[in-house]
Structure 1
Amino acid sequence: MTDAPTELLRLASADNFRDVAGTGAGYPAGDGGRVRRGVFYRSNELQLTHADAAALAGLGITAVHDLRSTPEVEAHPDVEVPGAAWHHVEVAGIPMEMVDGLADTAAAERVMREVYDGFVRSADSRAAYGELLRALATGGVPQLFHCTAGKDRTGWAAALLLEIAGVDRDTIVADYLLTNEVSSATREKYLALVGEHLGEHLVEVYEPTMVVAPEYLQAAYDAVAADHGSVAGYLRDGLGLDDATIAALRARLVHYDA
């Protein structure tokens, strides 16, 4: 596969960039294996400095999968990563019309749960996630996928990969919640803009849309259980992934000590 760096690369211009496998030896895969590092990476948008773009190129990234909407891409195009092909795999994120005019934190949290429900129940989102996972299963490695903040659309994709690897649910949730730690500086920057342009009284109202929370991820899992019975059923029937694709992803994701 790949020779993963011994330490986690941190990017000054993309603070939510990280290895799907976690740090150290990689997350336990539940059957004596571990998730292989240096295969799949996740990130927020690639508004990269020259040094950070060179650092990604140094990892040997072969493909970048951009999950953002077309307006998001046009507003902030990714900086090119040398050696990596760019692919647009659009997944609907947080609808701006649902965010404008939020009355309170409860409304913001409700919007976020609806977004995650949509990852599972929207036909367009299911098609996009199926496309992404098939590309990750068949393209050269390592590969990177990202959205704007690298927390919601990207977070669900990473959770699915860890599910395929056989990582336990508590570890998946803990990995998902790492966004709140590693991207705190970016979050504070955007909350400061909310205070400046919309009023300080709205900072608390908008904060739930700028973090991840267990109940958001649970909304996606609840939709999976209701519509497909299990994650395996969702991958097969919802995303249209065949057994060979799942097996290929698992082979890429999991390694066993000799």
Structure 2
Amino acid sequence: MDEIEVVVAHSERATLRVGDVFLKVDADQARLGIEVEAMALAPVPTPKILWHKPPVLAIAAASGTALGSLGEPPAASPAAWAAAGAAIRKLHDAPLPPWPGRGGKGPDELVAELDGECEWLVTNDFLPADLVTRNRRIAEAALRPRAPVFAHGDLQIAHVFVEGDEVTGIIDWSEAGQGDALFDLATLTLGYAEHLGDVVAGYGVDVDVDLDVIRGWWALRSLVVVRWLSEHGFDPFAPGCEVDVLRSLMS
């Protein structure tokens, strides 16, 4: 009998691993449904769905290894990062899914969420007021009109798997939907600004990737998740993680 590994667990969802099978348990059945549909529509490598019985989704392990893990030096080559960029472009060029996604929030929703989190961070002395205020200004660049694409919505570095210089799987599609292309690119390179050029090279030189918008998403994403991470057993203050990203944006 294989041991059961708890990959992640908090009040909203849990992921368990038994051998080469991942069991995702989610209190929000609609979120699991989106994950199933998004994986079926996405024109990029995704893990095989073994079965789906709400509130549990069973998927096979993706082949290869994760591109990296936030806060740790990535072992992947520049070519692997470029391959990730090419895969993201293929996803973004696909027909839009019929539902909104995390990155598809309108500017008014984003402003309300951002301002609420910034107020909480300052009022509760969770982060220095100057750090929050200056990053709030940087985040403004992300709050602009844009044409939606088929976005992953949570494309953090640990969700992209590679073998050598080839993308073999992209996991965790529960936030997928219509969203901002630069939100995906910013999420992938959060904490790894040095690899943004590699990702953009793979994504395509025909697209203007506005660095100010990428920086805006780095700031916005970090500001709005710091409290959630802390309340759910994660450490945004760990070296290289969200708080370090906010500090780096001030330099």
Settle same-fold status: TM greater than 0.5. no
**Which TM-score bucket, shorter chain as reference?**
0.3 to 0.5
Structure 1-normalised TM-score?
Answer: 0.32
Structure 2-normalised TM-score?
Answer: 0.33
